[in-house]
């Protein structure tokens, strides 16, 4: 279980995360909805231990990280991993190289592990350093997201939607246990979104915990096991999928009706 | 101390071997109508010997400077207080000391102080390497510190260690950005090898001095030297441009 307990984070004298408790179960998809600037990205960075909260506690399975921290403990990346709003693809590598680099480096460490698995050569057999099992998983993902035509491009030669898929696949091939996705569907078409949606559902059935920030109500309705509303650094309402249709808070009702009418 | 070339043919002959002596004999017959190119042709073996020494010197300085500087720059970016700031202070000080003075000081007073005698070639190579190391480190540390943190964060969440991030993300991006600057520094270092003549390393400038002290045609001799350097530095600058075009892609996203 991934858990944030009484998280507080200030920036420039202002609380941008204000006493937030949040819980992400393995095998569940949680969706965060909230207006711009409400602290969604910040919360994800705290949960992924990329930024330190001023106070509070992060629990990742049986590991506890208490803040303010008295010692520096290395977070369990990429067991918990993030796909960021701005994607952060490395500009000097092609999309495919972006996806493969972390895999190859990890294989170097754990070369012995999946060694015996043997797989027939695939379309992307150019690589030598990725283990066959991972190579096949990668090929499957590239095919699933229809990426063959552009994986050889550099990030600045690819469209935003293409980059979003590449960044997503870069995280997916690492098989994280907790996957945090920050608004990564903004430039994808309906078909791509539904492909991602069903893939994420499959992942969560395998016991992966998924957290998604999105503005797409339909996406949330389809995917969410839990829904979390954020506003001004606080969680103002949370609950099951039904919260989307009958929120108790006025603020949430208003926000939902606005994005409903916009889409 | 033997500063600048002696005008005694005996000394010249001893210093750069038979080459210059033979060359000199040839010229004495047709002195007077000697042009720049005549000088280059007449003294070609002497120039070649000098160039060889200059290249050996430059190669050492480049290799030590680029590897040592990248290393020192990377370490300095990581341990800002213990390595970064001292190396910044040293490079700041070094940049304020004329290379000539630094070289002389390391050659004569320091070695006398320590009671050692080091081959002038090695002294020159080390002195200029030190300068190069700190100049390169300065550039590398600067861009590493300005490095966009999001690329590092992306590496972290993908499970890469900080040394993997340094090697596979930071350095490649940084080197691409810095290739033009680093090459410019290396061309400057090549030109700084001329100062090695001060401590009587028989590199190209000292050869030119010796030839001049023999035939007293400073304009022609140093023009010849200039042409030689132009012939070497122009391709290097061309290489810099080519590398820049090849490796520094426009990273900005649409
Ligand atoms: N490093 C920082 N320094 C100062 N303020 C910050 C910093 N990072 C975030 N903030 C502020 O914290 C608030 C929450 O930011 P955050 O990026 O988490 O919002 P968000 O919910 O992700 O918004 P969006 O939907 O636009 O992505 C914003 O008001 C933002 O200006
Ligand atoms: Mg955000």
Q: What residues contact A74, with CB distance under 8 A and at least 6 apart?
A: none
Residue B114 CB neighbour total at 10 angstroms: 9
3-state secondary structure of A26: coil
B52 φ/ψ angles, rounded to the nearest 5 degrees = -60, -45
- So what's the pLDDT on residue A165? 93
Interface test with A, best of B149, B153, B156, B159 (most A CBs within 10 A): B159
Nearest beta carbon to residue A90 from set B164, B169, B250: B169
Q: Whose CA is nearest to atom 30 of ligand 1?
A: A37
Higher pLDDT, B3 or B249: B249
Percent of chain A with pLDDT over 70: 91
Token pair in block for residue B96: 């304020």
Chain B nearest C-alpha distance from A138 (Å): 15
Of A138 and B252, more confident: A138
User: Tokens 């000081």 identify what position?
Assistant: B105
Interval A11-29 mean pLDDT: 93
Residue A31 has pLDDT above 70, yes or no: yes
pLDDT band at A189 (very low <50, low <70, confident <90, very high): confident
Quick one: pLDDT band at residue A17, thresholds 50, 70, 90? very high
Q: Determine which of A23-37, A86-100, B24-38 has the lowest per-residue pLDDT on average.
A: B24-38
Q: How far apart are the first and last CA of chain A?
A: 33
Beta bridge mates, B96: none
Torsion of CA B69, B70, B73, B78, to 10 degrees: -150
A153 CA to centre of ligand 2 in angstroms: 26
Which of B68, B74, B135, B141 lies closest to B102, judged by CA? Answer: B135
Asked if A37 and A21 touch (Cβ cutoff 8 Å), the reply is: no
Contacts of residue A19, defined as CB under 8 A and 6 or more positions apart, other chains included, come to A6, A7, A8, A234
A45 CA: nearest ligand 1 atom: 18
Which residue's alpha carbon is at the smallest distance from atom 7 of ligand 1? Answer: A11
**Which residues make beta-bridge pairs with A228?**
A32, A238
Whether the complex's predicted ipTM is more than 0.90 is answered with no
With a CB cutoff of 8 Å and minimum separation 6, the contacts of B40 are: B47, B224, B227, B228
Instruction: Tell me the two tokens of residue A97.
Output: 């190289």
The C-alpha atoms of residue B126 and residue B57 are separated, in whole angstroms, by 9
The tens digit of pLDDT for each residue in B107-128 reads 989 998 999 998 999 999 999 9
Q: What is the pLDDT of residue A173?
A: 93
Query: Which residue's entry shows tokens 């208003």?
Result: A254
SS3 A198: helix
- B175 or A158: which leads in pLDDT: A158
User: Model confidence at B3, in pLDDT bands (50, 70, 90)?
Assistant: very low
pLDDT surpasses 60 at A91: yes
CB contact under 8 A, A91 and B159: no
At A81 the three-state DSSP class reads strand
Q: Rounded to a whole number, what is the distance in Å from the CA of B226 to chain A's nearest CA?
A: 39
Distant-in-sequence, close-in-space partners of B227: CB < 8 Å, separation ≥ 6: B36, B40
């Amino acid at each position: 279980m991934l858990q944030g307990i009484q998280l507080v984070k200030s920036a420039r004298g202002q609380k941008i995360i204000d006493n937030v408790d949040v819980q992400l179960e393995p095998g569940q998809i949680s969706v965060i909805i909230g207006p711009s600037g409400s602290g969604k990205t910040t919360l994800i960075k705290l949960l992924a231990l990329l930024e330190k909260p001023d106070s509070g506690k992060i629990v990742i399975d049986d590991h506890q990280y208490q803040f303010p921290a008295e010692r520096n403990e290395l977070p369990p990346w990429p067991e918990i991993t993030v796909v960021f709003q701005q994607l952060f693809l490395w500009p000097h590598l092609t999309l495919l190289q972006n996806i493969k680099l972390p895999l190859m480096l990890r294989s170097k460490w754990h070369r012995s592990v999946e060694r015996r698995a043997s797989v027939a050569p695939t379309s992307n057999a150019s690589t030598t350093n990725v283990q066959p099992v991972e190579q096949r998983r990668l090929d499957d993902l590239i095919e699933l997201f229809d990426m063959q035509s552009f994986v050889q491009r550099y990030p600045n030669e690819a469209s935003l939607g293409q980059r979003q898929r590449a960044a997503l696949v870069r995280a997916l091939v690492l098989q994280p246990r907790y996957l945090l996705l920050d608004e990564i569907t903004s430039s994808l078409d309906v078909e791509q979104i539904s492909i991602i949606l069903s893939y994420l559902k499959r992942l969560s059935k395998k016991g992966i915990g998924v957290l998604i920030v999105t503005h797409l109500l339909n996406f949330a309705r389809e995917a969410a096991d839990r829904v979390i509303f954020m506003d001004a650094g606080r969680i103002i309402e949370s609950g099951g999928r039904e919260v989307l249709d009958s929120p108790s808070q006025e603020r949430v009702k208003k926000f939902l009706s606005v994005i409903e009418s916009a889409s | 101390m033997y500063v600048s070339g002696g005008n005694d043919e005996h000394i010249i002959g001893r210093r750069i071997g038979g080459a210059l002596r033979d060359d000199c004999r040839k010229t004495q017959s047709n002195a007077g109508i000697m042009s720049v190119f005549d000088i280059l042709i007449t003294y070609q073996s002497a120039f070649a010997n000098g160039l060889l020494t200059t290249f050996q010197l430059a190669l050492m300085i480049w290799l030590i400077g680029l590897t040592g500087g990248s290393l020192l720059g990377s370490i300095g970016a990581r341990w800002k207080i213990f390595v970064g700031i001292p190396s910044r202070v040293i490079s700041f000080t070094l940049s304020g000391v004329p290379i000539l003075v630094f070289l002389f000081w390391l050659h004569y007073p320091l070695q006398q102080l320590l009671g050692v005698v080091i081959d002038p070639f090695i002294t020159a190579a080390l002195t200029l390497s030190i300068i190069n190391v700190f100049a390169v480190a300065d550039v590398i540390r600067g861009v590493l510190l300005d490095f966009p943190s999001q690329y590092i964060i992306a590496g972290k969440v993908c499970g890469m260690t900080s040394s993997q991030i340094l090697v596979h993300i930071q350095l490649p991006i940084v080197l691409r950005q810095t290739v033009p600057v680093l090459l410019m520094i290396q061309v400057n270092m090549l030109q700084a090898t001329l100062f090695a003549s001060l401590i009587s390393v028989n590199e190209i400038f000292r050869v030119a001095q010796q030839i001049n002290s023999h035939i007293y045609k400073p304009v022609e001799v140093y023009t010849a030297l200039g042409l030689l350097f132009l012939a070497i530095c122009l391709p290097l600058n061309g290489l810099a441009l080519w590398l820049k075009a090849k490796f520094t892609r426009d990273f900005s996203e649409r």
